[in-house]
Amino acid sequence: MKRKRENEIIAKEKEVKELQKARFGVDGELFKKRQELIKPIQDKVYNAIKALAEKGSYAVIFDKSSGASLLYTNPKFDKSDEILLAMGYKKGSK
């Protein structure tokens, strides 16, 4: 009887962990809902930053609140392909 109850408790604990993961984990309901609610706000902020950058002819806009993050970069100033060519890499190869 004791062994049976222990197994039931273990099964319930496992069930609870799976439910927590489903609700609060990386791909859980809470994460998805936050993404759903935050995405429109992030898009609105990005579009405002992009419009400001284009209007003011800015090449880069930094976010100083969280270290050295880039909020916007003008693709016209992206020299990645030229650097890769100078290093001997061809477009489309690894």
Share of the chain above pLDDT 70, in %: 97
Cross-strand bridge partners of residue 62: 70
Query: Per-residue pLDDT tens for 60-69?
Result: 888 877 777 8
Q: Which residues, in sequence order, are CB contacts of 21 under 8 Å at separation 6+?
A: 28
15-50: pLDDT as tens digits: 999 999 989 988 889 989 999 999 999 999 999 999
Beta strands, E only, the chain: 60-63, 69-73
Task: Give the start-to-end residue ranges of the domains of the chain.
Answer: 1-57, 60-94
